[in-house]
Amino acid sequence: MAKIFQVSARAGMTRVVEPIARALLRAGVTPNAVTVAGTVGVLVGALGLGARGHLVAGALIVTLFALTDLLDGTMARMSGGSTKFGAFLDSSMDRVADSAVFGAVAYWLATQGDHSGVAAALVCLAAGGLVSYVKARAEGLGMTCNVGIAERTERLLIVGVGGILTGVGVDPALEIALWLLAAVSIFTVGQRMTHVYRQAQQLQPDGQA
C-alpha cells in the first residue's frame, strides 16, 4: 500500500513538474544549473534559517528547493537523458544538501540542550548517507537497488514536517520525526542490502560460496 501511494504521489508530482521543466528548457536553463540552484536554496533554508531557529521558514524553503531534484531529472529526460557528469553532479549536490539539513538541525537542537534530538539527527545523517552509498555501490557493481521505503525526497519531507510542527509550537514533533526517520532509514539500508545479496547469489557461479 505504501509503495502504491509513493508511486501515485510521484506520478502526480511529475504532471506538475513537466510543464515547468519544458518552460525552463525553452528558456535555455540546463538541468545542471537547476541542480546547483536547488542545492544553494537548500543551504540558505537550512543554514541561514533552520540553524538559527526559524524552523517553519527554513523547512518550507528546504522542501521547495528539494523538489528541484524531480525538476532537474525531468529536464534531463526531456533533453535526451542525463549525462555522466550530470548524474555525478546531482548525487554530489544531494549529499551536500542533506549534510546541511541534518547538520543545521543537529546544531539548533544542541543550542536547545536536546541531546536526544541531536543523536537522532546524527543517526539520520549517517544512515541517509549509507542509504545512498549502498545503492551507488550496487549499481557500480552492475546490480540494481531501486528499493526502500525512505528515499531522499521522503526523508526530507519527514524532517520538514517535524520542523514545521515544532516551529508552530508542537515541541516534540521534530525529535519524533527524526527518530522515525532514523528507524526507516536503517530499515531501508537493510532492505537494499538484502536486495543486493539476493542478486549477488543469483549471479554467483555454481560451486562458489
Question: Which position among 94, 98, 171, 206 bears the catalytic label?
Answer: 94
- Cα distance between residue 54 and residue 91, in whole Å: 27
**Is 69 an annotated catalytic residue?**
no
22: Cα separation from own chain's centroid: 24
Q: What is the CA radius of gyration of the chain?
A: 18
Neighbour-count burial of 185, counting CB atoms closer than 10 A to its CB (0-12 exposed, 13-18 middle, 19+ buried)? buried
CA distances from 183 to 159, 173, 177 (A): 13, 15, 10
What count of Cα atoms within 13 Å lies in the side-chain half-sphere of residue 68?
Answer: 24
Active site residue ranges: 94
